[in-house]
Chain A
């Protein structure tokens, strides 16, 4: 187990590994970094079409009563969910994709997982730039009012990263011994996105499951991503969710934070326990 100091001492290495990942990913591709914004944009168009047009889910409203363009709503969710899904996938692969380094050089093993997730932060950054452009255009054309509270969104992001790191430590370790994990996690993420209010507003879920109290409870309390998504939508879009008061929202977020910390402790303890055997598990 490496101390935080030992890991921080190698921040240049983390930076270089992230740089390697990013540069290598887009080398010899014409659009390069543009791909990291094309993907969420396509997703947004697709989900807007499916949920808003086909399934006829109405546009959610903000606290001022304005309708939030469905595409903008979906873009916020997709931006953070993609970060979660991509981060978890690279986190799971962070050991197996670095076997050559793992067996030839020693530095704190945490660095592999940290830099795998850090490389995805860059993608999030790019899609956020696009979001700012979208926001500006909607603000001008539809006089949409955005909330200053979005400056608190990074705190929610922090909770999300704690959760991602915890899951990644656990999954990266198990994946070294059982490569099935990466396939399983791909499937789980595909299901998980529909069990989280990413592409549809929470109010839609609540209204269709109001007579299944247990299901609602699990959805809100045991899926740590639900309160986080809700908080992003609230803080950035000033979105109002019928049935969820501000107080209950922050209660849910606190629960999610506690759960995330618990996951990190569990994931990291598994990681530390098997860390010594990583180089042999190839």
Chain B
């Protein structure tokens, strides 16, 4: 049975200020035959946050909604709760909805934690009896036993958030809508929140979950929808949808970086050496910026030495999009002693099988003198993306296999999801063994 049904729903907002003639706004109440024409100006002020969205969520399903900022996720959630009304289309829900759109909704600064639990609980639709029954549980979950009779204005923002989430997490809803609230608190509290979500899922509640954390979406959701600029792009298996989200995210970022590209990113323009171009090639030798996990990748760098440089060295580092230093190799450490470069030159670095997990990365290529590795003569960077269907978390794809005892073997495949079964490791790894360096410096080397 479907507990949420969304049929061709569109939502339009009017941009700009709310000024207008009082008669325009309220006149229509008295005259039914309001003119249907809209001025051009009025049309331009229209902003369609959602366009013709249709989907349904079945009872007990956990459903994820992902998309860039401004794609309409939160608007959709607010439509489901009833805060907004659709401009077009039909929306039907069944059962008690609890929306974690913002934790601590209705908290009053001057009231104590205890008073706010009762206030917030009733705002979220709990009866006093239910709150009485679960009060100790809520306070324990928020870890605020000592401060429950202190006005919440004296709480830290973390305490405030924890209390808000604790109340919301203890409602007895049929449908739970969650918008990014897992981003509150420290890691252990976040883990607790995820556990509570899993518990709700196990209890057979319907969950609609919006998050920018693909790990959380992958771990929690059975079906995922991808929104972009108010349109529904795809809907289906989490791994598929998340991977197409990552592709579109990467494309977006490249477009931005391309337009913003210019003098700063190119690095210092040393009088001695200039990096002219970096190209990334796939196994077939085609220029490419998106690779699958385990693909071969060749980095080709063209440079120009304005004068003869004795004993040069080149380094290539990989950074994840969050600037995490994933790997770095250089010609010196790999034992390639280069005599000298002058004029136009080129080198190629081949990774026979890149073990990075899906995500955004960049190469940072630098040139320096062998005896002075701290001062680069030149550097330049190029972004690339790794995509893949695995649900593994972390940085690298560690080759692995599982074995089970005979009793376990028959059911193992069904009871373990891929996400839980894949070993994941976070941390940097030395790229040495995986990278083959080949150097073909041209010019007068």
- Cβ-based interface call for A31 (8 A): no
Is B108 touching A20 in the complex (CB atoms < 8 A)? yes
Report Cα–Cα, A270/B26, bound state, in Å. 8
Asked whether B317 is an interface residue with its Cβ less than 8 Å from the other chain, the reply is: no
Interface-located stretch among A192-200, A215-223, A273-281: A273-281
Decide if B99 touches A16 in the complex (CB within 8 Å). Answer: no
Q: Chain A nearest CB: distance from B161 CB in Å?
A: 14
Q: How many residues of B contact A (CB 8 A)?
A: 32
Query: Is A155 on the interface with B (CB-CB < 8 A)?
Result: no
Name the segment of A101-109, A146-154, A161-169 touching the other chain: A101-109
Residues in chain B near residue A16, CB distance under 8 A: 118-119, 122-123
B83 at the interface (CB under 8 A from A): yes
Query: Are B119 and A279 neighbours in the complex by a CB distance under 8 Å?
Result: no
Given the complex of chains A and B, what is the CA–CA distance between A19 and B115 in angstroms? Answer: 9
B18 interface residue (CB < 8 Å to A) = yes
Partner of A279, one of B26, B78, B115: B78
Which chain B positions have C-beta within 8 A of A23?
A: 108, 110-111, 115
Evaluate contact between A104 and B101: CB separation under 8 angstroms.
yes
Asked if B407 is at the interface (CB within 8 A of a chain A CB), the reply is no
Task: Give min CB distance, B173 to chain A, whole Å.
Answer: 13
- In the complex, how many residue pairs between chain A and chain B have their CB atoms under 8 Å apart? 79
Q: Which chain A residues lie closer than 8 Å to B333 at the CB level? A: none
User: Is residue A4 within 8 Å, beta carbon to beta carbon, of the partner chain?
Assistant: no
Asked if B85 is at the interface of the complex by the 8 Å CB criterion, the answer is yes
* With A13-B122, A104-B105: A269-B81 Cβ-Cβ less than 8 Å: no
Beta-carbon contact of B84 and A280 below 8 Å:
yes
Residues on the A chain within 8 Å of B22, using CB: 178
User: Of the candidates B25, B105, B118, which one forms a contact with A101 in the assembled complex, judged by CB atoms under 8 Å apart?
Assistant: B105
Chain A residue nearest to B127 (CB atoms) is: A12
State the Cβ distance, A13 to closest chain B Cβ, in Å.
Answer: 4
Q: Annotate B116-150 by CB proximity to A: 1 below 8 A, 0 otherwise.
A: 00110011110110000000000000000000000
B78 cross-chain contacts in A, Cβ below 8 A: 103, 279
B426: interface (CB < 8 Å): no
- In the complex, A279→B122 CA distance in Å? 20
Residues of B contacting A174 with CB < 8 Å?
Answer: 26
What are 14 sample pairs from A and B whose C-beta atoms fall under 8 A apart?
Answer: A16-B123, A23-B108, A23-B115, A27-B151, A28-B110, A100-B102, A104-B99, A105-B81, A105-B101, A105-B123, A106-B81, A174-B26, A279-B78, A280-B13
